Amino acid sequence: MSFGDPNNPYGPPPQGQPGYPPQQPQGQPGYGYPQQPQAPGYGYPQAQPGYPGYPGYPGGNAMAMEMPGLMKTARVLLFIMAGFQLLIGIIAGIAIGAAQDVSNGVGSGDDTDTLAGLGFLFAGLLVGMGALSIFLGVKFKNGGSGIRITTIVYAALMILGGIVNIVNGGGGSTTFGGLISLAIAGIILASMVNGAASAWFNRPRY
């Protein structure tokens, strides 16, 4: 029986020899040969830890924590208080300087030096407190527990100062200023001593 010329490229493919199993192409699935396992998700980008935009990267897909409403209110009040403190401090400093110039012109400057010094000290204190209010308000966004503690101490001192002004104001402008200071500082202090403030200032940062 002729099986054809094995060297003829146009002839039929050679048949398997009797008594031998047919040759099977290697590497083809379904012929009894084990397949090499492919990497999971072959051809598709996989989530890798430690890279932005992928799960496992700190802050990659997690939404940023939003500042609580009480913190926003306290921050705005700090900026408002800073504006009043800077304005009053600057006006007071200018007024005291002008008054001292008049006293020097009439020859009584030596008698008013002490009062002028105390007035300048008060004006400088107001300007410094205004700068501190701005600093605390700015640091509300990224500050930690130290900013919270500083704000609590600051608000407590403002409440104490407001009470002193109310008691010694005699119902005048000082009393009114003490009431405003007491109200603003009270709101700031209340917003700093609750659970929302603790969670905000102790939140993880990456």
Q: Report yes or no on 58 lying in a domain.
A: no
Q: Report yes or no on 191 lying in a domain.
A: yes
Q: Report yes or no on 130 lying in a domain.
A: yes
For residue 37, the model assigns a pLDDT of 52
Q: Report yes or no on 172 lying in a domain.
A: yes
Contact 166, 129 (CB under 8 A): no
**What is the pTM for the complete model shown?**
0.62
For residue 54, the model assigns a pLDDT of 39
The boundaries of the domain holding residue 109 are: 69-201
Of 89, 88, 92, 87, residue with least CA distance to 116: 92
Q: Report yes or no on 195 lying in a domain.
A: yes
For residue 86, the model assigns a pLDDT of 93
Count CA atoms within 13 Å of residue 132 on its CB side.
Answer: 16
Domain count, the chain: 1
DSSP for 186-199? Answer: HHHHHHHSSHHHHH
Cα–Cα distance, 144 to 163 (Å, whole number)? 29
For residue 114, the model assigns a pLDDT of 81
The answer for residues whose C-beta is within 8 angstroms of residue 109's C-beta and 6 or more apart is 100, 103
The answer for residues whose C-beta is within 8 angstroms of residue 57's C-beta and 6 or more apart is 49, 50, 51
pLDDT < 70 stretches in the chain: 1-64, 107-111, 170-171, 206
Q: Report yes or no on 55 lying in a domain.
A: no
For residue 26, the model assigns a pLDDT of 52
Residue 12 tokens, joined: 């039929």
Q: Report yes or no on 143 lying in a domain.
A: yes
Contact 115, 99 (CB under 8 A): no
Q: Report yes or no on 140 lying in a domain.
A: yes
For residue 63, the model assigns a pLDDT of 60
Residue 178 tokens, joined: 């003490």
